[in-house]
């Protein structure tokens, strides 16, 4: 019988020694991390906490994918504020003493793979024994271009979304057996599960924004990511900027293969499913058009207008109001994640 190594059997120091292989040589020797910042570069910091059974589960996600997913989610907030250069992350882990080393090793392997893809190193962290497996990450990056502020939207802006929405929620539904595999084309199943397990922070869009910006247009973009759902993201931009978001029903960012299925919840998942980690932007029309011309996976989904009513978002179809967003929320149809609510 093979004896399984647990955190209790190897102890804290051996755990730290083993984790050290995922960081540069000597990086974890001290209790602090030092890195150089070249002035006038601005530092961007983001922290996220992920708790088992709330943010991740072994029932739906393999340990290596958990490591990738929590790292990508934390880095996504850097991209959503205009960062294109990742310095690194710290990782603090709480886990029961019965947790296997194999699980921890695969989580850190996934984390390392994500950093290899998007830049940065493991800067350090901490570990402690506890009843629930918890991963707390802090990501640091530098701002090379202008910052994306949520309150930078103005009436007349185009609202642009990167990528497809609803795929991650479809992937979760498939992994939890809420949606029958037989009703979904094989390729779409694979894409949806991959979207849920291996999200991609959109640093490529941040880089593209600077490359395509018309020289006579000053830097002004409102932006966020769609981790909490497409509608929620647009509401954040509109509310922070005192604008009204008008969405075009025919232009929702849904993948064509998903749109053509008979999934009952597909449009609700696109609007409210969350965890797509795409960028939602509000920017001047000429700049937006230049971005769309060079990036096929970006799409205009609406415009910002003056805030002249209590309804922040409306979805239009054929120039008529197709759906009032407040109606979705009032009927409890929003799927956005809310902390401290059961």
User: What's the topology of domain 150-330?
Assistant: Phosphoribosyl-aminoimidazole Synthetase; Chain A, domain 2 (3.90.650)
- For residue 291, CA distances in Å to 117, 154, 186 come to 23, 18, 32
- State how far the Cα of 135 lies from the Cα of 145, in Å rounded to an integer: 30
pLDDT confidence tier of residue 324, bands split at 50, 70 and 90: low
Average pLDDT over the chain reads: 89
Distance CA 169, CA 195 (A): 9
End-to-end CA distance of the chain: 41
- C-alpha 213/C-alpha 215 separation (Å) is 6
Tell me the pLDDT band of 94, cut-offs 50, 70 and 90.
very high
Q: Identify the three-state secondary structure at position 21.
A: helix
Q: Which two tokens stand for residue 281?
A: 């932007």
Overall average pLDDT of the 213-226 stretch: 96
Q: What is the pLDDT of residue 243?
A: 92
Least confident span in 76-90, 153-167, 258-272, 328-342: 328-342
Confidence of residue 327 (pLDDT cuts 50, 70, 90): low
pLDDT at 233: 94
Q: Which fold has domain 12-143?
A: 60s Ribosomal Protein L30; Chain: A; (3.30.1330)
Distance of CA 212 to the CA centre of its chain: 23
Q: What is the distance, to the nearest Å, from the Cα of residue 205 to the centroid of all Cα atoms in its chain? A: 13
Alpha helices of 198-295 — where are they, by DSSP H?
Answer: 203-212, 230-241, 256-259, 266-272, 285-294
> What's the pLDDT score for residue 338?
53
| Mean pLDDT of all residues in 99-108 | 98
pLDDT of res. 33: 84
Once rounded to an integer, what is the mean pLDDT over residues 183-204?
A: 95
CA atoms of 114 and 118, how far apart (whole Å): 6
Peptide linkage before 128 cis (omega within 30 of 0): no
Of residues 1 and 342, the one with the higher pLDDT is 1
**Spatial distance between the Cα atoms of 273 and 169, rounded to a whole number of angstroms:** 5
Q: Where along the chain do its domains lie?
A: 12-143, 150-330
What residues contact 116, with CB distance under 8 A and at least 6 apart? Answer: none
What pLDDT, on a 0 to 100 scale, did the predictor assign at position 316?
52
Which pLDDT score, from 0 to 100, does residue 331 have? Answer: 42
Task: Read off the pLDDT of each residue in 88-112 and give the average, rounded to a whole number.
Answer: 98
Q: What is the mean pLDDT of residues 224-239?
A: 93
Position 149 scores a pLDDT of 94
- Model pLDDT for residues 12-51, shown as the tens digit of each residue: 999 999 999 999 999 988 888 887 777 767 899 999 999 9
Q: What is the DSSP letter of 250?
A: G
Residue 324, H or E segment: strand 320-324
For the ranges 152-161, 258-267, 271-280, 301-310, which has the lowest average pLDDT?
Answer: 301-310
Edge-to-edge order in the sheet of strand 298-306 = 222-225, 279-283, 158-162, 298-306, 243-248, 313-317, 320-324
Q: How many helices (H) and strands (E) does the chain have?
A: 11, 11
pTM: 0.89
């Amino acid at each position: 019988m093979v004896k399984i190594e647990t955190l209790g059997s190897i102890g804290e120091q051996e755990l730290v020694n083993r984790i050290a292989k995922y960081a540069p040589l000597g990086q974890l020797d001290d209790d602090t991390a030092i890195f150089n910042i070249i002035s006038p570069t601005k530092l961007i910091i983001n922290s996220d906490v992920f708790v088992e059974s709330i943010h991740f589960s072994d029932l739906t996600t393999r340990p290596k994918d958990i490591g990738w997913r929590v790292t990508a989610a934390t880095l996504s907030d850097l991209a959503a504020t205009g960062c294109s250069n990742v310095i690194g992350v710290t990782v603090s882990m709480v886990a029961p003493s019965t947790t296997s080393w194999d699980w921890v090793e695969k989580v850190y392997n996934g984390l390392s793979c994500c950093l290899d893809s998007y830049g940065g190193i493991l800067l350090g962290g901490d570990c402690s024994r506890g009843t629930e497996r918890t991963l707390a990450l802090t990501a640091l990056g530098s701002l090379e271009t202008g910052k994306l502020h949520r309150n930078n939207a103005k009436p007349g802006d185009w609202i642009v979304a990167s990528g497809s929405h609803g795929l991650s929620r479809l992937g979760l539904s498939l992994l939890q057996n809420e949606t029958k595999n037989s009703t979904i084309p094989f390729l779409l199943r694979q894409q949806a599960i991959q979207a849920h397990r291996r999200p991609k922070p959109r640093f490529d869009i941040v880089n593209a924004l600077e490359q395509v910006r018309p020289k006579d247009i000053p830097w002004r973009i409102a932006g966020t990511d769609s981790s909490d759902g497409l509608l929620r993201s647009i509401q954040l931009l509109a509310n922070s900027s005192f604008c009204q978001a008008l969405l075009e029903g025919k232009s929702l960012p849904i993948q064509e293969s998903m749109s053509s299925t008979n999934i009952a919840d597909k449009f609700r998942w696109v609007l409210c499913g969350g965890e797509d980690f795409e960028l939602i932007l509000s920017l001047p029309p000429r700049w937006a058009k230049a971005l769309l011309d060079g990036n096929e996976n970006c799409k205009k989904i609406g415009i910002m207008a003056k805030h002249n009513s209590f309804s922040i978002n409306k979805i239009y179809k054929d120039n008529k109001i197709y759906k009032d967003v407040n109606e979705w929320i009032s009927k409890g149809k929003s799927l956005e994640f809310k902390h401290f609510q059961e």
